C-alpha cells in the first residue's frame, strides 16, 4: 500500500504545537526537576505503544521519559477495546517483564476458531507447525494498562502524567520539549522524540505527517457478561454471519466479552425504550454456533462506535518515529490494535540495538525501523482495509472458506494469517494453489470401468 512521503523529508527546525488551556488534575507520577530535564528518549503518549517503547529503550540503558496529557491512576485504562492480543505480539510481554500476565488470574490463553459460510476453521495444535506454546491472549485493558505503567516505572522510566507537550524545537543536538503540568511549565531535552500519542496524534497533525484514511462500513457494540457458558477449551469464537462478525471472548472468573461488528444500519436500528442490550443479546442467541444467552447477566453497559475509518501514517516523519495507533489505527474487527502497538514499539527498539541516538546511527536506526514496519505490519493493513468493506461476493467467499475449512494445513495457515504470523501474500499463494487443485479435481472426468473381455 503506497504511503505519501514528506516533501522535504525533515520537519521544520522549529515546531510550535497549539496551546490548549490546562485543565489541571492530580499531580504527575514524577515531578520534573531541573536536574532531571535531560533525557535520551522522550515518548509522547503513555498507552501500550508508549510504555513498551519506553521500557525497551530503558532496558538498553537509555534515560527515558513518558509524557501523557491524561491523569493516570491505578484504575485508568482504555475501555473501548477487544483486548484480544494476537499470538505474534504475546512474546513481547515477556520481553518487558510481564510474563506473569499469562497466568490464569490475569488472562486466558486462547486460540481463534472461525465459524464461516464454508465451514469451521479450527486448525490443529499450535498456530504454526514447530512453534510450541504459541497462543493468543484475552487480557483486559483494566489489567494490562496499569501493569505497563508500573513496569515502566520499575524499569526506571519517568512517567509524567497530566503533562502536555506544548511545543517541540529541534537543533543540531536534539530536541527541546516545552511542557505544562500541574506544577507549571518545564523544559526537557531529548535526543530522540517518539510519537505514541494515538489515533488523533497531535504530533502528526502539527508536524505534517499525513493521514491516509480508508472507509470502514461496520459499526461495533461490545459488553461484559457473566452467566455465559463458553467452550471448555477456552477458544475464542468468531462467527461470520452474513456480513457481520460476532465474537465470544472467554475471560478469567467465568466472565465473557461479547463483541459484534455489524453493518451500520443494523446497529443504528437497535433503538427503543429498552436500549440496545435486548437486541444485542437476541442477535447472539439466534446464532446457532454461539453459546446460549439465556443466563447472561450484563456487567457493564454496551460500548461501541458507529464510525471508525482506517488510518495509516508514515512510520517515520523527518526524524520522529511513530508507533502504535499514531502510525496505524485500523478496523478493530481485525483485532490488531494491541498487537500492532506492542510489535511496532518493539520493532523501533530493535532498530536501535547497538546504535547511538546521534548522527549517522540515528538516521540508520530510523531507516531500519521504517523498513521493518513496512515489511512486518503494512502488508496486513491492505487486507484489513479491504475487509472493512461489506460489499463482497458471497458465493466467492463461501467457495474460499469451503477450501480453507476442508484443508487442515490451510486452516492452520489461515489462523496464522489472522494471528499476524504469516504474511498475506504467502497465504494467498497457498490458497490459490488449493483452489486450483480443487477445481481441477472437480472438472477431471472419472475413468470408466474396464469392460470384461
Least confident of 29-43, 184-198, 427-441: 29-43
Q: If pLDDT is split at 50, 70 and 90, which confidence band does 17 have?
A: low
Report how far apart the first and last C-alpha atoms of the chain are (Å, whole number): 65
The predicted pLDDT at position 8 comes to 35
Which residues share a beta bridge with 171? 174
Residue pLDDT, tens place only, 92-150: 999 999 999 999 999 999 999 999 999 999 976 667 666 666 899 999 999 999 999 99
- What does each C-alpha distance from 384 to 102, 211, 263, 425 come to in angstroms? 27, 16, 16, 13
The predicted pLDDT at position 33 comes to 43
Q: Give me the domains of the chain, ranges plus CATH numbers.
A: 14-78+143-213+309-382 (3.50.50.60), 84-140+216-305 (3.30.9.100), 392-440 (no CATH)
Residue pLDDT, tens place only, 414-440: 999 999 999 999 999 999 998 887 765
The predicted pLDDT at position 58 comes to 98
Q: What is the pTM of this model?
A: 0.89
The predicted pLDDT at position 74 comes to 79
Say if residue 212 is exposed, middle or buried (CB neighbours under 10 Å; 0-12, 13-18, 19+). Answer: middle
**Average pLDDT score over the chain:** 88
The predicted pLDDT at position 128 comes to 66
Q: Angle 190-193-198 (CA atoms, 0-180°, nearest 5)?
A: 145
The yes-or-no verdict on residue 32 having pLDDT over 50 is no
Residue pLDDT, tens place only, 53-80: 999 999 999 999 999 999 998 788 888 8
The yes-or-no verdict on residue 272 having pLDDT over 80 is no
The predicted pLDDT at position 402 comes to 94
| C-alpha to C-alpha distance for 332 and 326, rounded to whole angstroms | 15
The predicted pLDDT at position 450 comes to 53
| C-alpha to C-alpha distance for 110 and 52, rounded to whole angstroms | 23
Mean pLDDT, to the nearest integer, of 349-373? 97
Mean pLDDT, to the nearest integer, of 253-273? 91
Q: If pLDDT is split at 50, 70 and 90, which confidence band does 12 have?
A: very low
| Strands, E assignment, 288-392 | 297-298, 303-305, 310-312, 316-317, 320-321, 328-329
Mean pLDDT, to the nearest integer, of 248-267? 95
Amino acid at each position: 500500500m503506497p504511503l505519501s512521503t514528506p516533501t522535504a523529508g525533515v520537519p521544520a527546525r522549529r515546531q510550535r504545537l497549539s496551546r490548549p488551556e490546562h485543565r489541571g488534575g492530580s499531580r504527575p507520577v514524577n515531578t520534573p526537576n531541573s536536574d532531571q530535564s535531560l533525557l535520551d528518549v522522550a515518548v509522547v503518549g503513555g498507552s501500550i505503544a508508549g510504555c513498551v517503547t519506553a521500557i525497551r529503550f530503558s532496558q538498553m540503558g537509555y534515560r527515558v521519559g513518558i509524557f501523557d496529557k491524561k491523569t493516570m491512576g491505578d484504575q485508568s485504562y482504555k475501555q473501548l477495546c477487544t483486548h484480544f492480543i494476537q499470538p505474534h505480539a504475546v512474546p513481547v510481554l515477556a520481553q518487558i517483564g510481564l510474563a506473569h500476565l499469562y497466568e490464569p488470574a490475569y488472562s486466558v490463553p486462547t486460540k481463534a476458531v472461525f465459524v464461516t459460510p464454508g465451514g469451521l476453521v479450527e486448525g490443529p495444535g499450535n498456530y504454526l507447525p514447530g512453534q510450541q506454546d504459541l497462543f493468543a491472549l484475552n487480557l483486559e485493558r483494566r489489567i494490562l494498562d496499569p501493569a505497563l505503567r508500573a513496569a515502566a516505572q520499575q524499569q526506571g522510566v519517568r512517567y509524567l502524567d497530566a503533562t502536555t507537550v506544548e511545543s517541540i524545537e529541534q537543533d543540531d543536538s536534539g530536541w527541546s520539549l516545552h511542557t505544562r503540568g500541574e506544577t507549571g511549565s518545564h523544559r526537557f531535552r531529548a535526543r530522540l522524540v517518539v510519537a505514541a500519542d494515538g489515533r488523533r496524534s497531535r504530533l502528526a497533525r502539527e508536524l505534517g505527517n499525513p493521514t491516509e484514511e480508508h472507509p470502514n462500513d461496520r459499526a461495533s457494540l461490545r459488553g461484559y457478561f457473566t452467566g455465559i457458558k463458553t467452550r471448555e477449551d477456552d477458544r475464542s469464537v468468531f462467527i461470520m454471519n452474513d456480513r457481520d462478525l460476532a465474537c465470544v471472548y472467554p475471560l478469567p472468573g467465568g466472565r465473557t466479552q461479547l463483541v459484534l461488528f455489524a453493518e451500520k444500519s443494523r446497529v443504528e436500528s437497535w433503538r427503543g425504550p429498552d436500549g440496545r442490550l435486548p437486541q444485542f443479546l437476541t442477535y447472539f442467541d439466534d446464532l446457532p454456533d454461539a453459546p446460549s444467552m439465556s443466563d447472561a447477566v450484563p456487567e457493564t453497559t454496551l460500548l461501541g462506535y458507529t464510525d471508525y475509518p482506517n488510518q495509516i501514517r508514515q512510520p517515520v516523519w523527518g526524524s520522529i518515529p511513530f508507533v502504535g495507533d499514531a502510525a496505524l489505527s485500523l478496523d478493530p474487527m481485525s483485532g490488531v490494535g494491541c498487537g500492532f502497538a506492542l510489535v511496532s514499539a518493539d520493532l523501533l527498539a530493535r532498530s536501535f540495538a547497538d546504535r547511538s541516538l546521534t548522527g549517522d546511527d540515528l538516521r540508520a536506526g530510523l531507516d531500519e525501523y521504517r523498513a521493518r514496519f513496512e515489511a512486518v505490519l503494512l502488508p496486513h493493513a491492505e487486507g484489513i482495509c479491504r475487509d472493512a468493506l461489506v460489499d463482497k461476493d458471497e458465493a466467492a467467499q463461501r467457495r474460499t472458506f469451503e477450501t480453507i475449512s476442508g484443508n487442515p494445513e490451510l486452516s492452520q495457515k489461515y489462523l496464522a494469517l489472522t494471528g499476524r504470523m504469516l504474511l498475506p501474500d504467502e497465504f494467498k499463494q497457498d490458497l490459490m494453489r488449493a483452489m486450483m487443485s480443487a477445481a481441477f479435481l472437480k472438472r477431471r472426468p472419472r475413468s470408466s470401468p474396464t469392460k470384461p473381455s
